[in-house]
Structure 1
Amino acid sequence: MTLGRRELMLAGLGAGLAAAAGPRTANAREADAPQGSSTSEIVPAGGAIEQTATLQAAADAAAQSGKPLFLPAGTYATARLVLKSGTHIAGVPGLTILRYAGGGAIVGTENSENVRLSGLVLDGGGTPLGENGALLTAADATHLDVSDCRFMGSAEDGIVLRKAAGRIADCEIADIAKAALFSEDARGLEIAHNHVHDCGNNGILVWRSEVGEDGTMVSSNRIERIGAKSGGSGQNGNGVNVFRAGSVIVNGNRITDCAFSAVRANSGSNCQMIANSCARLGEVALYAEFSFEGVVIANNIVDQAAMGVSATNFKEGGRLAVVQGNLIRNLFFRKDADTRGIGIAVEADSVVSDNVIEGAPAYGILVGWGDYLRDVSVTDNLIRKCHIGIGVSVSPSAGTALITDNLITDAKDGAIRAMNGPTPVGPDLAKQSAEAYRNLAVYANVAR
């Protein structure tokens, strides 16, 4: 790196000030440092000088000694730092800044355990990181602990984890070109209490290289303003995206302003989406799709989406769902040909109960599509101000549906209608018998 006269003057000024301050500066650093930590003698150079070698040596020494390395407030320009097992780097939250200076990442760790970062800002500055780059990378890492850190300004991803176990908590991840946090093949991961916002493609991704149990917990995060700048039909634009990962729990999150879904699970069995507050979604708010077996979508709020809940794709093996206790309102048609405007859609081996749905321009609840319907129970739901309250497939090959004890009001084209594809056929089954349809049991519903 070639330094100009201005950079050298700044560096000299920083060193001179540190020398002039003498014991007072040291005492201030020691006062801020966590108890039992080793206080760094590195003087932050305001990002004017690359300090990789000095930082790496200090981190290695701290790992060997078993003491945390404390970095005082200031800006440190650094290329990739490789952290060994037992490394703990702490800073002053919001004030200790590691600024990217090359190497595809600011911090990386591999085949390690007990690595901890706290109180740091990792700032990519929008500088190109190279393909598959990220501000923090970790592979085959156990007991990884990242807390109270900020990840800002990445031209690629924010955090990339592979085969990691541990937690990412109380962090801010923002102004990220692609995904805020990508995890693949986790071995026991918690992602909690983070603020994720202004990301180009996705918020939090929980993936596996092959279909299998994962068990990651994604809880109490605030996720907002997630785009789909790389395009696609749903692989981008999601607050939380689960792919091939089973037994993932997504609960208690506030997810808003996503181009596609708040939570989208593709081929992930036994996933739970519970007690999330979701608003202003461009497509399906809570989505279980393709070859999943088992999903619970319960006690969520969805306000403004093209569709509230979808647990479908029986053709590809999507089956076994509980959709219960959700509040879904203010749905809309998309501008493209895939219009949506549906509160809840299910197809196979599913229970839909105790939901409140208001304002669906197509269907409050859609049961099956064409031949793709098997063993669905729809009971005790309140449906208001929809075009059709409940639509149910009566295709010759469709399976059985039970529809009972629902209250449906202000449905413009019928409270309960038999559907031949997108076309309603026959009378309103909330008011007349469904005996003509061998696959339906419809009774004790109230419509007005």
Structure 2
Amino acid sequence: MKESPLTSRRDLLRLAGASAFALMASRSFATTRDGGLRGAIDAADYQPTPGAPDRKRVSLQKMIDQAAAENAPVFLPPGTYKASNLVLRENTRITGVPGVSRIVYTGGGNLFSAEKVKHIELSNIIIDGQNRSLGDDTGGLLQFTGVAKVIIDNCEIANSRKHAVRLERCGGRITGSRISGSGQSGIYAVESDALSITGNEVFDCGNGGILVHRWTKAADNSVVNGNRIYRIKANDGGTG
């Protein structure tokens, strides 16, 4: 029997939506039929309501802690979530819907930090520092120290007063992300261990685009390749 063609705009939208979720699943975790993540801790369960006051930070932190303990990803449905000083535990994995899951920094320190853990992942989320002040002992909106494997994939990180991402003694990869509007550099990495920084777009930063440094003489084994970097200033001197 001859197959009938698509007969309505609704059919086209349904197929387009299915294709979008299939693409998201192929880039990170398996999705459920309603667009969530199979086995994930869903932000809706903890009611860190998009757009709610910063007191919801406690719910986000509780959600991160439980997901890490259960070795499950955290899924952020579409919306804007306000938070600060979130600590990423061992094996934290946070993902959202690209372009519509947004976390904004409310001030008072940093947005994300992790120290001396083996593995953390951030994917498919927008992170906005809103140009708010960071803590005196904080170098970046995202600050990771001694993390064996940091994965940042398909994220947008914008408007940090200092570095957008500051890594010290970390490995892993930063890929396919857009980083912009930082007062200092987009990515600052020191004493890295085979860190890969590839396929990113870094622009409109005040004091360098991607900076990879060492304090001690040793093999760094880092790779910086295929990034697009433009409109970079040198506010602290030099050429940018």
Please say if residues 41 and 75 of structure 2, whose CA atoms lie closer than 8 Å, have aligned partners that are also in contact: yes
Please say if residues 44 and 74 of structure 1, whose CA atoms lie closer than 8 Å, have aligned partners that are also in contact: no
Question: Who is 2:77 aligned against?
Answer: 72
Question: Who is 1:37 aligned against?
Answer: 40
Does the residue aligned with 1:115 lie in a helix, a strand or coil? Answer: strand
Question: Who is 1:96 aligned against?
Answer: 101
Question: Who is 1:444 aligned against?
Answer: none
Question: Who is 1:128 aligned against?
Answer: 133
Task: For structure 1, list consecutive stretches of 5 or more residues without a partner in the other structure.
Answer: 1-27, 238-448
Aligned partner letter, 1:63: A
State the alpha-carbon separation in 1 of the partners of residues 49 and 156 from structure 2. 20
Aligned partner letter, 2:80: T
Give the CA RMSD over aligned residues.
1.8
State the alpha-carbon separation in 2 of the partners of residues 45 and 100 from structure 1. 15
The answer as to 2:232 corresponding to 1:226 is yes
What is the TM-score normalised by the length of structure 1? 0.44
Aligned length: 207
State the alpha-carbon separation in 1 of the partners of residues 33 and 74 from structure 2. 11
Q: 1:47 aligns with which of 25, 47, 51?
A: 51
State the alpha-carbon separation in 2 of the partners of residues 182 and 221 from structure 1. 14
What is the TM-score normalised by the length of structure 2? 0.81
Does the residue aligned with 1:108 lie in a helix, a strand or coil? Answer: strand
Question: Who is 1:3 aligned against?
Answer: none
Structure with the larger strand share: 1
State the alpha-carbon separation in 2 of the partners of residues 147 and 59 from structure 1. 18
Structure 1 segments, 4+ long, off by >4 Å, are none
Question: Who is 1:182 aligned against?
Answer: 188
1:174 CA drift (Å): 0.5
State the alpha-carbon separation in 2 of the partners of residues 134 and 224 from structure 1. 20
Question: Who is 1:362 aligned against?
Answer: none
1:146 CA drift (Å): 1.0
Does the residue aligned with 1:223 lie in a helix, a strand or coil? Answer: strand
State the alpha-carbon separation in 1 of the partners of residues 71 and 135 from structure 2. 33
State the alpha-carbon separation in 2 of the partners of residues 56 and 73 from structure 1. 18
Cα 1:60–1:77 change in 2 (3 A) is same
Aligned partner letter, 2:196: E
Does the residue aligned with 1:55 lie in a helix, a strand or coil? Answer: helix
Does the residue aligned with 1:61 lie in a helix, a strand or coil? Answer: helix
Please say if residues 79 and 105 of structure 1, whose CA atoms lie closer than 8 Å, have aligned partners that are also in contact: yes
Question: Who is 2:144 aligned against?
Answer: 138
Does the residue aligned with 1:60 lie in a helix, a strand or coil? Answer: helix
1:103 CA drift (Å): 3.6
Does the residue aligned with 1:215 lie in a helix, a strand or coil? Answer: coil
Q: 1:171 aligns with which of 173, 177, 188?
A: 177
Cα 1:133–1:101 change in 2 (3 A) is farther
State the alpha-carbon separation in 2 of the partners of residues 69 and 128 from structure 1. 27
Identity value in percent: 33
Does the residue aligned with 1:104 lie in a helix, a strand or coil? Answer: coil
Structure with the larger helix share: 2
Higher relative contact order (CA 8 A, sep 6+): 2
State the alpha-carbon separation in 2 of the partners of residues 212 and 91 from structure 1. 37
Cα 1:46–1:29 change in 2 (3 A) is farther
